[in-house]
Amino acid sequence: MPVDLPLAPKQKRPAGEPCCEPVVYPDVQREQAQHLAAVAKALGDPIRLQLVDVLRKHAGKVCVCELVPLFDVSQPTLSHHLKVLREAGIVDSERAGLWAFYYVVPDALKELETWLS
Amino acid sequence: MPVDLPLAPKQKRPAGEPCCEPVVYPDVQREQAQHLAAVAKALGDPIRLQLVDVLRKHAGKVCVCELVPLFDVSQPTLSHHLKVLREAGIVDSERAGLWAFYYVVPDALKELETWLS
DNA sequence: GTACTCGATTGACAACCATCTATTCAATAG
DNA sequence: CTATTGAATAGATGGTTGTCAATCGAGTAC
């Protein structure tokens, strides 16, 4: 994840010259940044963040019917948020008859946590 | 941050009754979730995440003129992203003559990191 | 079978977002 | 003073997002 920008202070510079040479950003990092940002983006809604919070607290699988009454949004809206989290790879679901049970994918948040620390 | 959902399995239930009682979500947590989500949202763009990454790697303050050539976006667009990060409390800036130097606010990401772990 | 229930999907709509070009503002250089 | 420069702002635009009401599909209960 390191970048190694050649970061000269450049307090003063000659008038006509450019301020600094363009630095190539490694593509590997760019891809990882895209993934990290995608996870962060999925967490960037209060309802989704609380959903993840609830699911993580109850380490097991949680029925959607338990989740809906926790929030002041309609059932389709909550279903949409769960879909966003699923597509970001943060949660997954399992059906049992009529019910759907959601859970946090193990280590799905680890990469972001590592980057943050 | 704990939630303490009374999470009964509810494998089967009588037909007419509701699936589960509504559970009150503590308002304290709701506010914290809003803050955490705001920080995550600001990180939810690849360019902004890479900006934070660059600024964190170079523990000092970095001139905007160093940052612009790193990305394939115009200078106003980058300025916009820096503003978003500033308004989320993640970075701050300091002017020295014509130049503006940005840096990551110490511990700005700590709350999110703690929540993630 | 019919009636009902849970959850996902669809379609619509307003709000927001990332991006650009053009401009402005402040500071420096001459 | 004027010209130039680094960065922020304004305005426009196409795309995305959060939300809801309505509907659908699959499973269950009778």
Tens digit of each residue's pLDDT (9 = 90 or more) over B16-50: 445 555 566 777 788 999 999 999 999 999 999 99
Q: CA of B37 to nearest chain A CA: how many angstroms apart? A: 4
**Rounded mean pLDDT of chain B?**
84
Residues 52-81 in B having a C-beta less than 7 A from any atom of strand C are 72-74, 76-77, 80-81
Contact A82, A103 (CB under 8 A): no
Interatomic CA distance for residues A112 and B117, integer angstroms: 10
Mean pLDDT across chain A, nearest whole number?
84
Cα–Cα distance list, B34 to A46, A86, B15, B26, B101 (Å): 5, 21, 37, 13, 29
Confidence (pTM): 0.85
Closest CA to B54 of A23, A66, A79, A113: A23
A15-54 pLDDT, tens digit per residue, is 444 555 556 677 778 899 999 999 999 999 999 999 999 9
pLDDT score for A44: 98
Q: What is the pLDDT of residue A62?
A: 92
